Amino acid sequence: MVNASRRSVLKGAGALALATTLSTPSIVRAQEKALRIGQLGVMSGPEASWGLVNKYSALATAEMWNDKGGYEIGGTKYKIEIVSVDDRNDPKLTVSGAERLTGSENIRYFIGPNTDTTATSVRPIAEKNNAIYFPYAFARSLYTKPAENAILGMIASYQVAPIMYQQLKEQRGVKTIGFVARNDSDGLLQRDEGVKVAQTLGLEIVSSSDTYEPTITDFFPVMSNLVSLAPDLIVLSSAAPAHAPQMMRVARELGFQGLFACEAAQDIKIINEVAGEYGDGLISIGGASTPEIRSPYMEEFIARYTKVAGEWNDEAGTKAYALEILLATLAAAGPEAIDDIAPFKAAIDGFSMKNPFLKEESQLTYVGTGDFGQKRQIGVPMVITETKGGAFTTFAISSVAS
Amino acid sequence: MEQILVNGTILAANYALIALGITLIFSIMNVLNFAHGQMFMLGGLIVYYVCVVLHLPYALALIAAVVIVGLIGMLFEDVFFQRVMRISNREENTMLLAVGTSLLLENAALSLFGEKQRAIPPIVSGVYRIGNAFLPASRALVLVLSLVLIAAVLVFVNYTKTGRAMRALAQDRTATLLMGVDAKRISTLGFGLGAALAGVAGGLLISISGVNAGIGTAISTKAFIMIMIGGAGVISGSLLGAVVLGFAEAIGYALIPGSVTYLLIFVALIVFLLFRPQGIMGKPAA
């Protein structure tokens, strides 16, 4: 009896141990299942803020979900891991970074790169290694068939320019316009697209030949020419957040009285610090971060971003969207999409979720059919802002046609 | 035309401070300091920190930039460059070391000050009219301070015992050692002075256009162009190089449409170096 009992106890203990052995790893595996997302972009040098904002936004979103136990896909919660690679805005490094992410790291989804040149260089690798990427670059060829692996993460300059210039013409009486562009593929593309829009709207173009090198340290000589022509509006094509306030300050010091426009996102803290009293009158694209429209979730994101990065950056209002919609699309496509982008691609057309960053009830979808012939763009709301009294104020709200 | 002259003068004065620093280091140590632009950046960011974060006066911030960047330069020279020059005969080792220190400073600044452009509120406001040209008061102040600093450095180098020792070391190291000059101390001081000049230039520029952690490479590139034009290791040559580059930039941006200005500057530099590789005031290699 005793022996039997002992045997029973031993059997029971053994069974328990076996059960523990068998079940514990599966619980641990379920708890520790990781979803690795890449982030590739410029995170050093003059354009560092573009890629770093992507990185911090992704890290903030990942932390928010991880604190809740992970992101649920197909009934399993995944901890989000962000793998970041700095390409220093050098296509050679972008290519090697993409090879690493999609090859040795076996990552199927990554955010970035940040410029036309680097994003274009990534395309063959993403297609060869079956990866989806979310560039912040405007070259149409990236999003138009036969290309189908890139999803534009923001609003392109050629989408915002018609609305922005039209509003400025009607509301502010803008009749003459001058362009100053960053001398790289993004800047020149944005300028050329802007010139076409201005011509279509019947605006008089006083100058479109002024450019500056990305490594410029003083805008005084560059802006002197354009200001002397006294346009109603100066368009700062593809101006980096570091450069736009410098150009504004110099133009105002040279006596410019008109408005500025920029189809790239800017940062109010930099504008206040660099342009100071000359910081008013910039019309630019913003994210879903203006206080009037943001939801409590966006407030939570801003707080988390500030914790991760040390300070808030208005550019992150746009860049908050990429990881959020990527995760939601994976959830919609099912767990098989984690390792295979085909179900993800199939889910894009019908995908819709409540926009978590806006307090108004609205849907977040993929758009882009009008511009690219297929849905290869995140439907980020088009919030056009104006700098007034050291803050961004909402100038106009619109959206990209689906 | 007046605006071109004003723009050229402002640029030349700013560039002269940068060129002067890198030339001092090159002439004394024979080290091409690739971290010069990063020292400029660091000077600007120190001024930002002292003025914006600590809310202390600009003059104090500028002094802090001079002292801290100067000390960093002296530390680099004493700990890194002296040792590498002692144990290695290959010149490229010091160049690689300089590249390494530039990456170190850039990444340290990125971690400490973040990725954003940093600037301080204008020290003075208002705009002067000179004929048809505009000269903002803030730039006029930077111009005056730059000229005063350049004059002070020239007086120091030409009329003080330490300055003369630096020049002697640059001209003939062996003869200077034979005269009993403490070459190690002079080298350290020279490196520190060169670095401090970069720091003060960054501290001045942040008041008009701001700096960011990534600006260093662009500044170093311009510094190299200036000393190639004027002649590596020649102080008067570096000032001449600054004037040539400043006015070439001002004239180019005003008169040449599009983005040809720097293309032409580089082409002209290549052609110039084919005929005078030692620069305008440099001595031909023996």
Indicate the domain borders of chain A: 33-154+291-381, 157-264
> Quick check: A217 and B209 CB within 8 A?
yes
Q: Greatest CA span in chain B, whole angstroms?
A: 59
Q: Which of A46, A209, A222 sits opposite B214 (nearest CB)?
A: A46
Q: Measured between beta carbons, which residues in chain A are less than 8 angstroms from residue B214? A: 44-48
Top-level class of domain A33-154+291-381: alpha beta
How does residue A23 score in pLDDT terms, banded at 50, 70 and 90? very low
String of b and e for A252-275 (b: at least 16 CB within 10 Å)? bbbebebbbbbbbbbbbbbbbbbb
CB atoms within 10 A of CB B133: 16
Q: What's the gap in Å between the CA of B69 and the closest CA on chain A? A: 20
> Quick check: B11 and A220 CB within 8 A?
yes
**Residue A29: its pLDDT value, please?**
45
Mean pLDDT of B213-238: 87
Asked if A33-154+291-381 and A157-264 have one fold, the answer is: yes
**Residue A31: its pLDDT value, please?**
52
> Quick check: A49 and B116 CB within 8 A?
yes
Q: Are strands A391-398 and A382-388 parallel, antiparallel or unpaired?
A: antiparallel
Fill in the DSSP letter of residue B50: I
Q: Which of A221, A228, A242 sits opposite B117 (nearest CB)?
A: A242
How does residue A103 score in pLDDT terms, banded at 50, 70 and 90? very high
Ordered alpha helix ranges (H), chain B? 2-29, 36-48, 58-75, 82-87, 91-113, 137-159, 161-171, 173-178, 183-205, 216-230, 235-255, 261-275
Give the separation between CA A137 and CA B195, rounded to whole angstroms.
38
> Quick check: A241 and B117 CB within 8 A?
yes
**Residue A3: its pLDDT value, please?**
44
- β-sheet bridge partners, residue A35: A80
Its pTM stands at: 0.78
One of 3.10.20.90, 3.20.20.120, 3.40.640.10, 3.40.50.2300 is the CATH number of A157-264, namely 3.40.50.2300
Taking phi first (over 0 means left), then psi (-120 to 50 degrees means alpha), and beta for anything else, what does residue B186 get?
Answer: alpha
Best interface-test mutation with B: which of A273, A305, A312, A315 has the largest number of B CBs within 10 A? Answer: A273
Give the separation between CA A282 and CA A259, rounded to whole angstroms.
6
What residue has token string 């050291």? Answer: A390
**Residue B65: its pLDDT value, please?**
95
**Residue A241: its pLDDT value, please?**
84
* Residue of chain A with shortest Cα separation from B8: A221
Q: HSE on the CB side for A377, CA within 13 Å?
A: 30
Per-residue pLDDT reduced to its tens digit, B97-130: 989 999 999 889 988 888 788 888 878 888 888 8
> Quick check: A44 and B106 CB within 8 A?
yes
Taking Cα atoms as reference points, which of B138, B136, B108 lies closest to residue B120? B138
Does the pLDDT at position A2 exceed 50? no
Q: Do A112 and A134 form a contact (C-beta atoms < 8 A)?
A: yes
Taking phi first (over 0 means left), then psi (-120 to 50 degrees means alpha), and beta for anything else, what does residue A116 get?
Answer: alpha
What residue has token string 């100058």? Answer: A207
Per-residue pLDDT reduced to its tens digit, A231-266: 999 999 988 888 899 999 999 988 899 999 998 888
Q: Do A85 and A108 form a contact (C-beta atoms < 8 A)?
A: no
> Quick check: A246 and B3 CB within 8 A?
no
Q: Are strands A204-212 and A176-182 parallel, antiparallel or unpaired?
A: parallel
String of b and e for A55-66 (b: at least 16 CB within 10 Å)? bbbbbbbbbbbb
Mean pLDDT of A10-36: 53
* Residue of chain B with shortest Cα separation from A216: B218
> Quick check: B214 and A276 CB within 8 A?
no
Q: Which of B7, B106, B117 sits opposite A274 (nearest CB)?
A: B117
What ipTM, to 2 d.p.?
Answer: 0.76
Q: What's the gap in Å between the CA of B206 and the closest CA on chain A? A: 9
Per-residue pLDDT reduced to its tens digit, A81-101: 999 999 988 899 999 999 999
Average pLDDT, chain B: 87
Best interface-test mutation with A: which of B14, B143, B253 has the largest number of A CBs within 10 A? Answer: B253
* CB neighbour list of residue A314: distance below 8 Å, 6 or more residues apart: A265, A266, A267, A268, A269, A286, A287, A289, A392
Give the separation between CA A243 and CA A336, rounded to whole angstroms.
44
Q: Measured between beta carbons, which residues in chain B are less than 8 angstroms from residue A250? A: 209
Q: What's the gap in Å between the CA of B79 and the closest CA on chain A? A: 27
